[in-house]
């Protein structure tokens, strides 16, 4: 087996891929803000404009702006060094915020169970936690049309491919995670569920 | 505010999966007076474009089911007419170049801020204008496709359709037109078509044959004269330029015009003013000149017969009318029409040509073009005794007796140019029943050239120095009698040579 990848390299790769997937969504949302504001602006210039002629576009601009804020918040949060011990749920939420819209645009679904927010913190390095979660999520999204994130009774993060497609995680990644104290394993015979257990 | 004229514009299709963007863009373009539809993905856009005509498609590069480049590719492959503006959030040079290479009208990078929206608003009318121009061309082409008649012209060949297209394009302008074509190809009919399809159609059409009239009369016909301008001119007379003002003048055989009249014509073309013979007053005329000639114009210009400056004035648009032999698919159509026309005129119930007559009509090279075909059919209708026209009815007397001689020459790949030339000489010699002078005239070579080629054939000497087996057998008869001897003998000698040539070697 070749040497496991260094966690910083793994995280850089995850960040590149996540940014690539989110870029279109971010630009799309910015586009939505811009186009809808332009409708509001141009109609507002007309003396005969009634409020109903602009309100729906103002609302659409507002919704799109919220999407921009959400995407850019998540992107900035992941770009910044995380406080340790790292909040596992927050890392999952930020990654899912960036990946879910792109998955939706491709006809896929990424669901994150509410309980994930309360999964707690890990003593592993923030880089290792984020890189491991990101790699596993990306592998699952690439393999499946419906991915779901849950928290097990053992407080492990479980990523399931609901259409039972096998989630393949590179052995090097598994080894690198293990070196950082994080255990990644298939927990279903079909290989459609992986479980990530973090050191506390 | 939206100009109301845009309501007549073709529709715009927005192909994007972002509802927030499509709603906003629709509103912006709708406010500008455009009719807009939305397709939520590339596949849906393609279906809409296949079913309905859109002048412009604004397509996102990244869409579900079929992306922007895929949509462009499909539009090209299915030849769906529209202009595509790609809206891309991934504006790399590569994707932009790729889009443009695949036929996109332009591309705009996201996000569409006010500046880019203004650019898009400026692009759309240009794209629509391009679409409209191409649409007009497509309609014209499809209108001319399948057309067998155009004004008084008849023909469904590609070359005639090209002529129709040029006439259609040039008719509405005021440009002078020069029609080139052999005698009998229908140059006057083309001139009439240019006139009848123009805005001047309600004005007069005045045709003058410059070769048929003596110089003085032609000058008088063109420019008119004042009373007392010359002996016997007791009244003033307006010329063709004045009489045809508001219409068109057709000058046939223009290269035959005397040089000093050419100068006057050039002046009239440049100033749109004429002066009658013996007159002092300049008369302004509104005229379009359509000229025609069957002469080699380069030669006529080089020899000084035709002024070069007049040529350029006349040939603003040049129409080359193909000889009938180069549009052989029109022969059947023309012959059938002439048959119906002359049967009616002569009160004869002739329904068709028989198979042999068709064979001959379709294989003859018609050096006199449509006029010769028309005359041949008229004569055949008059001569025919039954309900069909036979080969003896249609074939001119001077060609009878060479009935079995094929009028086409087949040259095998690998034959030398000299062999091909001699084949052509041989067949033409045969088709003229051994008339050397006529053969030379038809081929455009000298009598000596024909004699030399025939002698080489009969001697069996090929260009590569080998003996021609088939020529050797007839050499005894052909050497002296084949060419110089009376026609019957020459013809028979040649026929045997040709027959022998078709036999495979043992």
The pTM assigned to this predicted structure is 0.49
Residue-wise DSSP of B324-376: GGGGGGGHHHHHHHHHHHHHHHTT----EE-HHHHHHHHHS--TTHHHHHHHH
Our measurement of the distance from residue A133's CA atom to the centroid of its chain's CA atoms, rounded to an integer in Å, reads 9
- Crossing angle of helices B369-383 and B331-345, in 10° steps, is 40
Long-range contacts of B159-164 (CB under 8 A, 24+ apart): B159/B322, B159/B326, B159/B327, B160/B322, B160/B327, B160/B330, B163/B190, B163/B319, B163/B320, B163/B321, B163/B322
Our measurement of the distance from residue A161's CA atom to the centroid of its chain's CA atoms, rounded to an integer in Å, reads 15
Which helix H or strand E contains B288, and what residues bound it? strand B288-293
Residue B273 contacts residue B266 (beta carbons within 8 Å): no
Residue B472 contacts residue B460 (beta carbons within 8 Å): yes
Distance, in angstroms, between B241 CA and closest chain A CA?
59
What pLDDT, on a 0 to 100 scale, did the predictor assign at position B495? 33
Q: What is the 8-class DSSP label of residue B283? A: E
**Which chain B residues are closer than 8 Å to A36 by Cβ?**
20, 23-24
What pLDDT, on a 0 to 100 scale, did the predictor assign at position A70? 95
Owner of token pair 């506390």:
A200
- C-alpha to C-alpha distance for B405 and B493, rounded to whole angstroms: 13
**Which chain B residues are closer than 8 Å to A103 by Cβ?**
none
- In chain B, positions 31-60, which contact chain A (CB-CB < 8 Å)? 31
User: β-strand B237-238 against B224-225: which pairing, if any?
Assistant: antiparallel
- C-alpha to C-alpha distance for B244 and B497, rounded to whole angstroms: 59
- C-alpha to C-alpha distance for B71 and B39, rounded to whole angstroms: 12
Distance, in angstroms, between B96 CA and closest chain A CA?
16
Partnered with residue B319 across adjacent β-strands are B179
Three-class HEC string of chain A: CCCCCCHHHHHHHHHHHHHHHHHHHHHHHHHHHHHHHHHHHHHHCCCCCCCHHHHHHHHHHHHHHHHHHHHHHHHHHHHCCCCCCEEHHHHHHHHHHHHHHHHHHCCCEEEECHHHHHCCEECCCHHHHHHHHHHHHHHHHHHCCEEEEEECCCCCEEEEECCCCCCCCCHHHHHHHHHCCCEEEECCCCCCEEEEECCC
How far apart, in Å, are the Cα atoms of B311 and each of A27, A125, B255? 62, 89, 9
- Cβ of B62 within 8 Å of Cβ of A105? The answer is yes
Residue B462 contacts residue B451 (beta carbons within 8 Å): no
B27 shares contact with chain A (CB less than 8 Å)? yes
**Which chain B residues are closer than 8 Å to A30 by Cβ?**
110-111
The closest of B58, B37, B49 to B76, measured between CA atoms, is B49
Residue B183 contacts residue B321 (beta carbons within 8 Å): no
Tens-place pLDDT, residues A65-109: 999 999 999 999 999 888 889 999 999 999 999 999 989 888 899
3-state secondary structure of B157: coil
- Cβ of A36 within 8 Å of Cβ of B24? The answer is yes
- Both tokens of B64, joined, read 């579900």
The closest of A155, A156, A158 to A147, measured between CA atoms, is A158
What pLDDT, on a 0 to 100 scale, did the predictor assign at position B397? 74
How far apart, in Å, are the Cα atoms of B393 and each of B36, B353, B376, B386? 66, 10, 9, 10
Chain A residues at the B interface, defined by Cβ less than 8 Å, are 23-24, 27-36, 38-39, 41-43, 46, 56-57, 60-61, 63-64, 105-107
Exposure string over B248-265, b if 16+ CB within 10 A, otherwise e: bbbbbbbbbbeeebbebb
User: β-strand B283-284 against B273-274: which pairing, if any?
Assistant: antiparallel
- C-alpha to C-alpha distance for B308 and B285, rounded to whole angstroms: 24
Residue B12 contacts residue B57 (beta carbons within 8 Å): yes
What pLDDT, on a 0 to 100 scale, did the predictor assign at position A184? 94
What pLDDT, on a 0 to 100 scale, did the predictor assign at position B370? 95
What pLDDT, on a 0 to 100 scale, did the predictor assign at position B401? 58
- C-alpha to C-alpha distance for B443 and B428, rounded to whole angstroms: 8
Tens-place pLDDT, residues B448-466: 888 888 777 665 544 433 3
Distance, in angstroms, between A192 CA and closest chain B CA?
26
Distance, in angstroms, between B49 CA and closest chain A CA?
23
Those residues of chain B that have pLDDT short of 70 are: 1-8, 90-93, 142-143, 145, 398-413, 433, 457-506
- Cβ of A57 within 8 Å of Cβ of B27? The answer is yes
Cα distance from N-terminal residue to C-terminal residue, chain B: 88
Give the count of beta carbons closer than 10 Å to the beta carbon of residue B333: 17
**Which chain B residues are closer than 8 Å to A61 by Cβ?**
24
**Which chain A residues are closer than 8 Å to B18 by Cβ?**
28, 31-32
Those residues of chain A that have pLDDT short of 50 are: 1-2
- C-alpha to C-alpha distance for B428 and B421, rounded to whole angstroms: 11
3-state secondary structure of B265: helix
């Amino acid at each position: 087996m070749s040497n496991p990848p260094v966690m910083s390299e793994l995280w850089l790769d995850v960040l590149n891929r996540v940014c690539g997937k989110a870029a279109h969504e971010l630009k799309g949302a910015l586009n939505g803000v811009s186009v809808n504001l332009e409708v509001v602006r141009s109609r507002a210039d007309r003396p005969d404009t009634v409020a109903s002629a602009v309100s729906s576009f103002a609302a659409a601009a507002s919704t799109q702006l919220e999407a921009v804020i959400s995407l850019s918040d998540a992107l900035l949060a992941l770009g910044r060094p995380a406080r340790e011990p790292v909040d596992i749920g927050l890392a999952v939420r930020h990654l899912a915020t960036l990946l879910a819209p792109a998955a939706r645009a491709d006809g896929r679904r990424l669901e994150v169970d509410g309980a994930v927010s309360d999964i707690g913190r890990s003593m592993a390095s923030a880089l290792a936690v984020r890189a491991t979660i990101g790699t596993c999520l990306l592998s699952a999204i690439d393999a499946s049309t419906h991915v779901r994130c849950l928290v097990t009774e053992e407080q492990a993060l479980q990523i399931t491919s609901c259409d039972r497609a096998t989630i393949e995680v590179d052995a090097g990644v598994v080894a690198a995670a293990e070196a950082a104290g994080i255990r990644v394993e298939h927990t279903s015979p079909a290989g459609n569920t992986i479980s990530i257990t973090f050191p506390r | 505010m939206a100009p109301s004229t845009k309501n007549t514009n073709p529709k715009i299709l927005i192909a994007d999966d972002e509802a927030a963007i499509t709603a906003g863009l629709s509103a912006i373009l709708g406010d500008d007076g455009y009719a807009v539809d939305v397709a939520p993905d590339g596949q849906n856009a393609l279906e809409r474009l296949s079913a309905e005509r859109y002048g412009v498609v604004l397509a996102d590069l990244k869409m579900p089911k079929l992306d922007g480049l895929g949509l462009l590719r499909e539009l090209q492959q299915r030849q769906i007419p529209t202009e595509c503006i790609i809206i891309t959030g991934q504006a790399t040079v590569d994707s932009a170049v790729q889009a443009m290479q695949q036929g996109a009208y332009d591309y705009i990078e996201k996000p569409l801020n006010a500046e880019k929206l203004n650019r898009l608003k400026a692009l759309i009318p240009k794209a629509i204008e391009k679409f409209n121009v191409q649409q007009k061309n497509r309609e014209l082409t499809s209108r001319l496709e399948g057309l067998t008649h155009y004004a008084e012209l008849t023909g469904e060949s590609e070359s005639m359709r090209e002529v129709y297209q040029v006439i259609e394009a040039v008719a509405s302008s005021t440009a002078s037109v020069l029609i080139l074509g052999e005698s009998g190809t229908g140059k006057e009919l083309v001139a009439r078509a240019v006139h009848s399809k123009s805005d001047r159609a309600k004005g007069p059409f005045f045709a003058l044959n410059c070769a048929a009239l003596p110089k003085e009369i032609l000058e008088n016909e063109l420019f008119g004269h004042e009373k007392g301008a010359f002996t016997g001119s007791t009244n003033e007379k307006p010329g063709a330029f004045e009489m045809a003002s508001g219409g068109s003048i057709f000058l046939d055989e223009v290269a035959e015009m005397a040089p000093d009249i050419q100068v006057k014509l050039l002046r009239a073309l440049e100033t749109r003013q004429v002066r009658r013979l013996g007159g002092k007053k300049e008369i302004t005329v509104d005229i379009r000149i359509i000229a025609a000639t069957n002469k080699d114009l380069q030669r006529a210009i080089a020899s000084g017969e035709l002024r070069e400056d007049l040529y350029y004035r006349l040939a603003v648009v040049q129409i080359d009318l193909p000889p009938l032999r180069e549009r052989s698919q029109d022969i059947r159509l023309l012959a059938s029409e002439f048959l119906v026309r002359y049967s009616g005129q002569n009160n004869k119930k002739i329904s068709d040509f028989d198979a042999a007559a068709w064979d001959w009509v379709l294989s003859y090279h018609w050096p006199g073009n449509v006029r010769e075909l028309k005359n041949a059919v008229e004569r055949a209708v008059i001569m025919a005794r039954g309900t069909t026209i036979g080969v003896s009815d249609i074939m001119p007397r001077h060609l009878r007796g060479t009935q079995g001689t094929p009028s086409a020459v087949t040259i095998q790949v690998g034959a030398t140019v000299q062999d091909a030339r001699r084949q052509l000489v041989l067949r033409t010699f045969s088709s003229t029943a051994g008339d050397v002078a006529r053969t030379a005239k038809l081929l455009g070579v000298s009598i000596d050239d024909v004699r030399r080629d025939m002698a080489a054939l009969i001697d069996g000497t090929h260009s590569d120095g080998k003996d021609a087996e088939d020529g050797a057998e007839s050499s005894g008869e052909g050497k002296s009698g084949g060419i110089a001897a009376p026609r019957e003998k020459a013809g028979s000698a040649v026929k045997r040579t040709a027959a022998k040539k078709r036999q495979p070697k043992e």
